Amino acid sequence: MFPMEKSAPKVPSDRTTRDRLLDAAEHLFGIHGYKGAGMRMLAEEAGVNLGAATYHFGSKDALYIETFLRRFRVMNAERLRLLRESEEQAEGKPLPVARIVDCMIRPLFQSGLKHPSFQLLLARNLFMPPPFLHAVIRQELEPNIKVFQAALLRALPAMPDSLLHLRTMFGMGALLVFSFQMAQMVFERHATFYENVLEEMVRFISAGLQSELPPSPEQWLPFPFPPDSESR
């Protein structure tokens, strides 16, 4: 029933079918969304048989999750790596806000230039993940968010937690929507000076984060990220 139930030394065999399926899934799920891309469509684009998908992944959901995590994990790891590297260079001193934001954003830009389809998929899923993905994303993203929040709090000691949380979410929104648009530009081969755009985005978000504190004490509930859409 399942591909490697016993023995199976190192998944040596395919390396083609399975990966071609993943690539096709990344591409088509990114463009059409989870509901918009059917298994037959994927199989055709990948040039494999319809049954191959069920064989290698078990179900559409599982394929979707795997497609998403494949790059999401390395992107998050890269984010942490950059931040740690910066903090080592700073030798104990709190990092400037812009630097922290840069560490957060840069991997997304880099990944977007190499894998625009994934960037579409990513934006889709951070915005409105299908229900079965929601927990996965949260679990994968949570440690990341914690670390960056902590770094920002060190850089902005006067800012209340809840306010920073809200502002971070605004920044995420700007980043998210923009990355979606950028992916389509990359897709259409509209080469642009993305380094400039990245700098500009860092400036925008940093300015927002550092803007003056509100006169009245802020009062609101925490907004979860990402929100779960299909829940109702």
Using CB under 8 A as the binding rule, whether residue 180 contacts a copy of itself is answered as yes
Instruction: Look at residues 130, 121, 123 and name the one whose alpha carbon lies nearest to residue 178.
Output: 123
Which residue, 56 or 124, has its beta carbon nearer to a copy of itself? Answer: 124
Q: In the structure encoding, which two tokens stand for residue 198, read together?
A: 């990245």
Spell out, one character per residue from 35 to 64, where the chain touches DNA: x when CB under 7 A holds, - when not. --xxxxx------xxxxxxxxx-xxxx---
Using CB under 7 A as the binding rule, whether residue 17 contacts DNA is answered as yes
**Sole window of 51-59, 77-85, 107-115, 198-206 interacting with a copy of itself (rule: CB under 8 A):** 198-206
Spell out, one character per residue from 208 to 227, where the chain touches a copy of itself: x when CB under 8 A holds, - when not. xxxxx-x-x-xxxx-xxx-x
Return the residues of window 136-155 that contact a copy of itself according to CB under 8 A: none
The C-alpha atoms of residue 68 and residue 136 are separated, in whole angstroms, by 10
Q: Are 30 and 117 in contact (CB under 8 A)?
A: yes
The strand ranges marked E within 156-230 are none
Distance in Å, CB of 203 to a copy of itself, minimum: 5
Among 9, 157, 214, 217, contact with DNA (rule: CB under 7 A): 9
Q: Within a 13 Å sphere around the CA of 159, how many CA atoms are in the beta-carbon half?
A: 23
User: Cβ of 128: how many Cβ atoms within 10 Å?
Assistant: 17
Return the residues of window 103-142 that contact a copy of itself according to CB under 8 A: 120, 124, 127-128
The C-alpha atoms of residue 202 and residue 197 are separated, in whole angstroms, by 9
Helix axis angle, 194-210 relative to 97-114, nearest 10°? 150
* Tokens 């902005």 -> residue: 156
For binding to a copy of itself (CB under 8 A), which residues are involved? 31-33, 35-36, 120, 124, 127-128, 163, 166-167, 169-178, 180-182, 184-185, 187, 190, 192-194, 196-197, 199-201, 203-212, 214, 216, 218-221, 223-225, 227-232
